Structure 1
């Protein structure tokens, strides 16, 4: 049931109580517009608990992981083999998901059948997850060309990584991704959520915050003057503005282009994002990413050099610029990675401009001033991206952060959303509904070219793409619940927009057509208790009352 704002009056009164919302806010949500300038003058940055919201949720924390398809983590949920790794026993009456049934496991239409990966195979080769390759793997919706089109089964020069023919088909169960399965057991999981478009990290991250991958312009890395570069933007118009389908580094970031030591052109986005909408409503917010804090300077540029090693003792730089979507927009960028002016200023507009290190989120949480909206991005070694990260390191980050949030006073009004930027090309059997086609002869495959292009006419925005995991962890989550509502990355954006009466992005953003997260919640009263997990094993350390 995607209510969105449907049955507005009755639902708002039931969720919030009569008189809880100002008339200007009700008007904003009813019309899809932001506050008027007169209203805005009455609003000042203030504690998140004071701001009017559509639901009892006063804090949203989005933990945005990397490169996982639904079947790769949840294909056999809730059944684990328990042959190695952390034991997992599902609760009675755990609902089934649209996963890997017996036929898909033993007589798959692809060249190989899916196989279980154990915790000793947590580090694997990175798969091909480009815009065109993923479409080709879908083979018009037959979902049977993953081995030929997206598989990378050999990891050249990286002997610690596991790879073998058929790897792209393989999956983990609750003996490895134990923490994720335990969150699904105690909170709400979606088995019908999709990448907004096909392709890699940058389009996925930009869709999370704006729902619009058109608007990218290639610029010179020093002067920021527009240049022509098809590796940055696809199908550009006369002014060089097109659609992003790959992973250029952001224009407004000193640490882009390997700390400006290379000469690749960068990407600058035009248009609005959710940060602009939240600023108009004077809602505190921030993007918090591992490694964002500089380790030094090189001339006029900040340097992001912090590194960590994963469970296989592979080291990588923590900060990945193309995983930071707000740095593509000049309005919301912090090019020099300046720190916040104080802990109390985190979430407000100051020199940091809402872009922070993960440690700043921890500081705000400890100080009792967590922003209303927070996006958390793990350092590379913990973000789950195959090739340099893994599910075990990812689990340490996710469980560690949620444990801290649940121990804070803000937990009682918080919703943590676990979402992903793309599928990495990993196999998933669910053929998506193509709600927006594209007819770029150089990029698009049959699955996209045969569908209507949106009325905006923008090319290279074909979606929905692959199915991805999506979980909601909150006192207001439904418990041990699997939601079948069709959603996508912009459903998270839409929930934030609606909850804080921020309006819509516009310009044919996918937020206008996104399914809602409403079925994953029960707002009449809190129903889910706290769940503390062992970050290393993912096992339940304690479960209690909300």
Structure 2
């Protein structure tokens, strides 16, 4: 894996193959023909042009699962410049032992499309322990060859009944599947027209919550672990959540966060005089077995919303109802941020279901679409328990209202957008083949639509085209407003991989108190859309969610989290025998915290921006170039299932004449429709 030095833009950005789309060809500027201005110059130009950064933060997709055959990207069959065979693709051929036959079964990547109703698949295992098995780190290097075996072992269960073995087989196959532009044509269209990043990873080798936290903090509690140890707090419980009443005392999960606990704020541990935060009616707030409750301890380290408070930090933190508890690990950060003299930067976190949505009854916020463990800011008391800061937390419908009514923060801001368990547009899963995996009954179709109506791309509950439609509506809302579009940069990215196969080994930067790899996780997609973006290119800049944070800091002039006194001290303390012992012999824990300072290990997203567009010597990309017609967005399946043809793209496997084989009797929904799992002999 190549780490490119900061500023080497011409080396880390390459052109995609020539486009059949005339409009894309019109705006394409070959990066090989451009000089690369100094990093500081790019930042200077961005600060003049970009006032709003929008982060559409989707759920649970690996890069190879969605873009593994995207032309010009480092994917399953090509390094982006030339074809690559299976022998030189880590983990391309995987195997598991089938106890029914006693043989090793080989699995390799295969394409799913409209004939397999590929807009809906089931979620694979993305627990922290399973992800470690999938990476299969040996000698400090991830071999990427444990995906199929981890799925089979985890899903077939200890008893290994015929039904369990059948389930394990289906998941061992499913984890190696991939999609293309026939299934997610909008996402591919954006990647074709703007800048696709193919070397961005999950910050943590974990499920969603730690990476939702990392999107604003660059970590999931590593500095809190260094300062206070890994154990969660004990606390008094009160109240009723989802029909369960709580009293007495109990233990919370500790740090770093490696599972999907719900936030402390809004849980049964929340003090009675705290600012009220919503709960999710579909999530578990109780125990898993004999362990602690499914609640995170209160998080107390620095975040982008904290540094964004700037010179107004003391005024904003005056709304904190429990400052002694909530500000325990930012006491030195606060005066450092205040002394910067930087004017406050507004921020918003819009998440489906947080408050009243258009699908709710009048005056009643059901929170039916809300996934509490995806709401990053709700884990931090100085934000969620703060009567001033928490006004930045809103629902998805609020975003569209605010754009339409010119109610976004005046003068610019940092805007995060997340979907949820349902969608607010009344869209239903498109069943493109009623005969797959067998002739679907009305109850089968109902089961699929009841389970998969979400809009954040999470395989557990979302449909991919409903999800890309939500993304398109967000982009259309911004791009249809000329003033807003001219001041915007939009990032589309994901929290983690869901555990789906990807072939690129992440750099192993840290280990947790359980001795498992902590950072980084599996590669995820990331796109940058802006009037100042490079068109029709792929950036190979290496990073994780810290790349998003660093770019935000560059644009708004915020102090890097890793440079703040409390975080800097913890980062230094982490590289010590006390913490190095959790890694292999000789390993140094140099990254137990944020890494949002540019280095060969972690880059920003600056390579997405075209120097000529920023300088005004080349035309900016018009809003119309980003927009997809409203009727097309609303019509499912998108482009009638002919996405590749309609957007003029040829996936790499098709270009090379590679025909993959779908396993006989394969079921894409082994958990949703288990009755169609291929039976064991």
| Residue of structure 2 in register with 1:185 after alignment | 192
SS of 2:528 mapped into structure 1: strand
Verify the 8 A CA contact 2:67 2:75 in the aligned structure 1.
Answer: no
| Residue of structure 2 in register with 1:341 after alignment | none
Q: CA deviation at 1:368?
A: 2.2
Verify the 8 A CA contact 2:280 2:371 in the aligned structure 1.
Answer: no
Give distance in 2, aligned partners of 1:325 and 1:225.
Answer: 26
Verify the 8 A CA contact 2:561 2:596 in the aligned structure 1.
Answer: yes
Verify the 8 A CA contact 2:209 2:376 in the aligned structure 1.
Answer: yes
Asked whether 1:477 is paired with 2:533, we answer yes
Question: Which among 113, 118, 124 is matched to residue 108 of structure 2?
Answer: 113
Q: 1:389 to 1:14 in 2, by over 3 A?
A: closer
| Residue of structure 2 in register with 1:103 after alignment | 85
Verify the 8 A CA contact 1:2 1:516 in the aligned structure 2.
Answer: no
| Residue of structure 1 in register with 2:406 after alignment | 368
Asked whether 1:424 is paired with 2:498, we answer yes
SS of 1:511 mapped into structure 2: coil
Question: Which among 623, 626, 636 is matched to residue 531 of structure 1?
Answer: 626
Asked whether 1:195 is paired with 2:202, we answer yes
| Residue of structure 1 in register with 2:594 after alignment | 509
SS of 1:54 mapped into structure 2: helix
Q: CA deviation at 1:524?
A: 2.4
Question: Which among 165, 177, 185 is matched to residue 170 of structure 1?
Answer: 177
Instruction: Give the count of matched residue pairs.
Output: 430
503-512 vs 219-228, which moves further? 219-228
Verify the 8 A CA contact 2:283 2:371 in the aligned structure 1.
Answer: no
Q: 1:435 to 1:4 in 2, by over 3 A?
A: farther
Question: Which among 116, 119, 124 is matched to residue 122 of structure 1?
Answer: 119
Structure with greater proportional helix content: 2
Give distance in 2, aligned partners of 1:475 and 1:4.
Answer: 21
Q: Residues 70-85 of structure 1: matches in 2 within 5 Å?
A: 70-78=63-71
Q: 1:16 to 1:271 in 2, by over 3 A?
A: closer
Give distance in 2, aligned partners of 1:63 and 1:12.
Answer: 26
Give distance in 2, aligned partners of 1:194 and 1:328.
Answer: 22
Verify the 8 A CA contact 1:382 1:393 in the aligned structure 2.
Answer: yes
Give distance in 2, aligned partners of 1:14 and 1:65.
Answer: 28
| Residue of structure 1 in register with 2:354 after alignment | 292
Verify the 8 A CA contact 2:202 2:521 in the aligned structure 1.
Answer: yes
Asked whether 1:519 is paired with 2:617, we answer no
| Residue of structure 2 in register with 1:61 after alignment | 54
Give distance in 2, aligned partners of 1:424 and 1:206.
Answer: 16
Verify the 8 A CA contact 1:208 1:489 in the aligned structure 2.
Answer: yes
Give distance in 2, aligned partners of 1:486 and 1:510.
Answer: 12
* Aligned-CA RMSD value: 3.6
Q: Deviations over 1:32-86 (max 9, x none)?
A: xxxxxxxxxxxxxxxxxxxxx73521100000000000000000113xxxxxxxx
Q: Residues 343-492 of structure 1: matches in 2 within 5 Å?
A: 350=388, 352-371=390-409, 372-380=413-421, 381-408=454-481, 409-438=483-512, 440-441=514-515, 444=516, 448=517, 462-492=518-548
Q: CA deviation at 1:272?
A: 1.6
| Residue of structure 2 in register with 1:137 after alignment | 134
Q: 1:128 to 1:11 in 2, by over 3 A?
A: closer
Q: Taking structure 1 as the reference length, what is the TM-score of the superposition?
A: 0.71
SS of 2:504 mapped into structure 1: coil
Verify the 8 A CA contact 1:71 1:99 in the aligned structure 2.
Answer: yes
Q: CA deviation at 1:243?
A: 1.1
Q: 1:209 to 1:483 in 2, by over 3 A?
A: same
Give distance in 2, aligned partners of 1:4 and 1:208.
Answer: 23
Give distance in 2, aligned partners of 1:489 and 1:108.
Answer: 26
Q: CA deviation at 1:150?
A: 3.9
Verify the 8 A CA contact 1:485 1:515 in the aligned structure 2.
Answer: yes
Q: CA deviation at 1:414?
A: 0.4
Q: Taking structure 2 as the reference length, what is the TM-score of the superposition?
A: 0.58
SS of 1:510 mapped into structure 2: coil
SS of 1:76 mapped into structure 2: coil
Verify the 8 A CA contact 1:259 1:304 in the aligned structure 2.
Answer: no
Q: CA deviation at 1:433?
A: 1.2
118-127 vs 411-420, which moves further? 118-127
Q: 1:353 to 1:258 in 2, by over 3 A?
A: same
Give distance in 2, aligned partners of 1:55 and 1:490.
Answer: 23
Give distance in 1, aligned partners of 2:475 and 2:125.
Answer: 31
Give distance in 2, aligned partners of 1:355 and 1:490.
Answer: 21
Asked whether 1:493 is paired with 2:527, we answer no
Give distance in 2, aligned partners of 1:165 and 1:466.
Answer: 17
Give distance in 2, aligned partners of 1:322 and 1:499.
Answer: 28
Query: Structure 2, unaligned stretches of length 5 or more?
Result: 10-36, 79-83, 96-106, 158-162, 226-231, 240-245, 267-276, 288-292, 311-342, 358-362, 422-453, 568-592, 649-681
Give distance in 2, aligned partners of 1:10 and 1:485.
Answer: 16
Q: 1:220 to 1:286 in 2, by over 3 A?
A: farther
Give distance in 2, aligned partners of 1:16 and 1:261.
Answer: 47
Q: 1:542 to 1:475 in 2, by over 3 A?
A: farther
SS of 1:382 mapped into structure 2: coil
